[in-house]
Amino acid sequence: MTQDARPTAIQARFSASELEAIENWRRAQPRIPPLAGAMRTLVRLGLEAVLVQPIAADGDAKEAVAAA
């Protein structure tokens, strides 16, 4: 995502156990992040684990995907 691009809003549905896991992760953080921020962080961490290349928190994932 470029700096001037507006983020895209999405909707997602989670099971009760998935939401509980997300909430448990949020509450285990030194400063509890808002749910949206927690979701972005968890997605970024998951992508980094699969792609094996760090993705900037506000950066473009195209290079990481191309390298995978």
Find the angle CA(25)-CA(55)-CA(8) to the nearest 5 degrees: 80
Query: Domain limits of the chain?
Result: 16-67
**Mean pLDDT estimate for the chain:** 83
Contacts of 48 (CB under 8 A, 6+ apart): 54, 55, 64
pTM over 0.85: no
What tens digit of pLDDT does each residue of 25-34 get?
999 999 999 9
